[in-house]
Amino acid sequence: MDSSSSEILVDAGSFRLYKDGHADRTGDMETVPAGFDADTGVTSKDVVIDAVTGVFVRLYLPPIEAASDDDVKKLPILVFFHGGYFVVRSASCPKHHRYINDIVAKSSLIAISVDYRLAPEHLLPAAYDDSWAALNWALSGADPWLSEHGDTSRVFLAGCSAGGNIAHNITIAVGVRGLDAAVQACIEGTLLLHPSFCGETRMEGEPEQFWDSVKKRWSIIFPDAEGGLDDPRMNPVAAGAPSLTKLACERLLVCAAAEDPRRPRERAYYDAVKSSGWGGEVDWFESEGEGHGFFVHEYGSSEAVKLMDRFSFARSGTMDSSSAEILIDLGGFRLYKDGHADRSVNIESVPAGFDDETGVTSKDVVIDAVTGVSARLYLPPIEAATDDDGKKKLPILVFFHGGYFVAGSASYPPLHRYTNYVVASACVVAVSVNYRLAPEHLLPAAYEDSWLAISWAVSGTADPWLSEHGDTGRVFLTGASAGGNIAHNMTIAVGVRGLDAVVPAPRIEGTILLHPSFCGQTRMEGEPAEFRDGVKKRWAVIFPDAKDGLDDPRMNPMAAGAPSLTKLACERMLVCAAALDPRRTRERAYYDAVKASGWEREVEWFESEGEGHHFFVDKHGSHEAIKLMERLAAFIAGN
């Protein structure tokens, strides 16, 4: 790592703040132009609202036929504030732009997406000031789209993450000081999408690492905040904060995600509004099995569609009742009462072949013709796979993908890209396993397929790439999320039963667990209750014959009756976690249990700050992802 990192004051994945006050933004700053969207029929344009500050808004108008019926010509006005820690993103962010196009089309409204100034170049309260100015500009009828089609008696405020925080504060500000706009206007509703709130005192269920990171960022982007995190703009229930009865909207919808570390604060906010004596209507909407801001990143997923449907709040406040036929909904897949499944995300695939960026070549190989189980093999550039004699044996890395055991594959584009980079960085031959998925193939099918794949990979005769370039004396097992769970179980299985391979003495040199999914029947301190409940529900569906439910040793390696951790067959282990991942509590407990078990090998802990579950695949190239990649390569190299 570059020694200049010592000057970094805070690193949040998509941006870095340095001691001299400047910022490097390493992600979330892509832009897309306004214009006509062929998918939705929505038209957008950018309008500068303040020539001095440069603040602009992106206006959205639905198809004109939707904006003109004989009875109602005026449409609701939605003022939207984007997220990004107050530091990154914009109104022209491609994913936000796509999301708002959909909102506008499906809810038939006019939207104003505010491009407020970002910290640290413009410290808070600049973003709040800009947002206030944008609301008043919108209601003044300053643009023909608004004056001709906008109904100022039906105004909605909405925001995601930091934007949700802004939406709350602007709603309070309207109640405290009134609007500057000359026209009569009514804030009919406010929609808070995973709003960012916090406080000086950590709440029960609020991960400590997450709370620490928020505190650090807040002190930098708002150094003049009153009371630090207890400034009313970050903690709306702090002593001295304006009364929640000042909320100027008639209806409030608070939206949360079960796996978001912000969820305890969001629920506390919702409860505080309900008990405040406020005379409006407040509703709670929670997305199961999902993390922060998922609806923007996992566009089109089942949970994202359900949340989009809830935007009918801007029309009638009702929800579609067709979801009653769904037995379980995990965001990326739905299981219906009749037993069939729909997968809406993580089902894309990319063909194997040569990768220009890394020089890695891949191919797909069927391991078992009966079950259809296959693997994608990866070979690094040939010069890396040879020494002076023209021969060089490379470590064999067997990789198990994630996806709740129900989604994902070795050919999933972000994972394929990630594996290419691992192979190039660590100079290994990789075997990425395509195990069978639940519910069509209930567990333990995935474990059985993974065991078969390992035995195949180290057999020495399975494929020329492995026999010619693979060193069965240096085998590494790794997996992400559900795949990390599999990697642990395979390492235990090798220790308990030995490998089926015919090659003499194959050796598991190391196991790398990347955000492994573990759980248990009893919730651990610091483990979000909603997250554990979601895991329990999923596990019951995909593994109905599990022994003792979540205390089956395959899900809870520390449960009574689980194989001793001294049976781990690897010589070294690396347990990788993310500070904002609700699985982090279990992962640390697992690491501690391995250390205390009497296992006489080397176990190491590696934690990524300011990041959530599986970020290294989804945020390829981010600072923390690069650090993790470097640690993987060093671990495989023996460092």
**Annotated active-site residue in 260, 355, 463, 471:** 260
Q: Give how far the C-alpha of residue 174 lies from the chain's centroid of Cα atoms, to the nearest Å.
A: 33
* CA dist., res. 588 & res. 598, Å (int): 17
| Catalytic status, residue 488 | no
* 602: β partners: 572
- Return the DSSP state at 625: H
Give the β-pairing of 23-25 and 361-368. Answer: unpaired
* CA dist., res. 182 & res. 125, Å (int): 24
* 155: β partners: 77, 187
Does residue 78 sit in helix, strand or coil? strand
Residue 593: CB atoms within 10 A of its CB come to 15
Q: How far is CA 576 from CA 213, 422, 480, 553, 618, in A?
A: 18, 15, 9, 20, 16
Strands (E), 353-487: 361-368, 373-379, 394-400, 429-434, 470-480
593 and 568 in contact (C-beta within 8 Å)? no
Does residue 284 sit in helix, strand or coil? strand
**Degrees to nearest 5, angle at CA 97 with 578 and 74:** 135
**Residue 436 carries which side chain, given as an amino acid letter?**
R
Does residue 231 sit in helix, strand or coil? coil
Residue 84: CB atoms within 10 A of its CB come to 23
* CA dist., res. 180 & res. 120, Å (int): 28
Helix (H) or strand (E) holding 187: strand 187-193
303 and 271 in contact (C-beta within 8 Å)? no
565 and 597 in contact (C-beta within 8 Å)? yes
* CA dist., res. 502 & res. 338, Å (int): 44
Q: What does the longest C-alpha to C-alpha distance in the chain come to?
A: 84
Contacting residues for 516 by C-beta, under 8 A, at least 6 apart: 479, 481, 484, 485, 487, 488, 575, 583, 587, 590
Contacting residues for 348 by C-beta, under 8 A, at least 6 apart: 412, 413
Q: How far is CA 96 from CA 29, 100, 188, 257, 378, in A?
A: 11, 6, 23, 18, 35
* CA dist., res. 323 & res. 321, Å (int): 5
| Catalytic status, residue 161 | yes
198 and 265 in contact (C-beta within 8 Å)? yes
Give the β-pairing of 281-287 and 251-257. Answer: parallel
- Return the DSSP state at 315: T
478 and 636 in contact (C-beta within 8 Å)? no
**250 is written with which tokens?**
């008639």
**Annotated active-site residue in 97, 122, 149, 292:** 292
| Catalytic status, residue 5 | no
* CA dist., res. 260 & res. 605, Å (int): 23
- Return the DSSP state at 563: P
Strands (E), 194-271: 251-257
**Annotated active-site residue in 92, 140, 161, 481:** 161
Q: Which sequence positions are flagged as catalytic? A: 161, 260, 292
